[in-house]
Amino acid sequence: MNYRLLGKTGFNVSEISLGTWQVGGRWGEPFNEKTAETIIHSAIDAGVNFIDTADVYSDGLSEAAVAKVVKSRSEEVFVATKCGRQIQPHISEGYTPEKLTSYVEQSLRNTKLETLDLVQLHCPPTEVYTRPEIFGVFDRLKEQGKIRNLGVSVELVDEALMAMRYPNVTTVQVIFNMFRLKPSELLFTAASENNIGLIVRVPLASGLLTGKMSHQTTFNPEDHRAFNRNGEAFDKGETFSGVDFDLGLEAVEELKTLFPGQELLAAWALRWVLMFPEVSTVIPGASRPEQVSSNLAAAGLPALSQEQMNGVRAVYDKYIRPTVHQQW
């Protein structure tokens, strides 16, 4: 495992880490604590030392499972969680210092940890980034020893740039993959200049970039890929990176021609993310232990050639850029 600096946190984190949105069960399936713990243990066994969760993942069960495993291990493993998505309706007015403080305290109870390594605002409405009192809450929480660092998880590049104006923001979590190139154009440079750690989520575009899907693929009715393709249930752009499913399948077939051989497209899609030195870590999810091994194997692949890098951009320009680029 290779490690990279996570910005101002000072943490050296595994370049491929673990996201736990669907840990312990596939999207749309009930949470399974034993499966979750097996997945988390297998990740740490392989050198992963950064795990991303959230208070809304399985109603706090994900946080609890992550912390239970981490506390049982001798290795130093950094736990990152998120808060804010419990607010309904999810509008700026719902964000108050009191609510956010209560969410952090609930995460501490869920995890039974004394201090949270990183707490991230969980894709708040854009207006929240203009409210200094919201960001000031986390200075007080840090002074109280409840958190070590503040980060933000964003939908838009502009939101990330707004968040960086606050000195206590140490990390930005953003969607970045072969179907979402916009962050590399401006955000990456700004993050490097401001010593902001970049956490890349949704690196496989909700599975599109595994190369395993087809026009006949179906999803569990409770799976967000069945009901949130256009942002009907939550943020547009999270599911399939906002790309039309059928168009994405066309683009995937062309991407496959750039990477002939035994390795699946998913591994190359993760290795592609790691080609960007500004990225601190990428957090693919796993619903089965074997997916952890598959994800981590990507770090051992050779660097992409310039021809392959250019090819990925050409596919993006042909299929993806015209419909979604400016939205994010």
Residue 28 is predicted with a pLDDT of 59
Rounded distance between C-alpha atoms, residue 216 and residue 245, angstroms? 11
Residue 23 is predicted with a pLDDT of 75
What pTM was estimated for this model as a whole? 0.94
Residue 181 backbone dihedrals phi, psi, to 5 degrees: -90, -15
Residue 326, judged by CB atoms within 10 A of its CB (0-12, 13-18, 19+), counts as: exposed
| Mean model confidence pLDDT for the chain | 93
Residue 27 is predicted with a pLDDT of 56
Residue 304 DSSP symbol: P
Residue 131 is predicted with a pLDDT of 98
The residues, any chain, with a CB within 8 Å of residue 195's CB and separated by 6 or more, are: 7, 8
Q: Structural domains in the chain?
A: 3-325 (3.20.20.100)
Is residue 152 within 8 Å of residue 121, measured between CB atoms?
yes
Tens digit of pLDDT for each residue in 106-124? 999 999 999 999 999 999 9
Whether residue 309 is predicted with pLDDT greater than 60 in this model: the reply is yes
pLDDT range class, residue 76, cuts 50, 70, 90: very high
Tens digit of pLDDT for each residue in 252-280? 999 999 998 767 899 999 999 999 999 99
Residue 64 is predicted with a pLDDT of 94
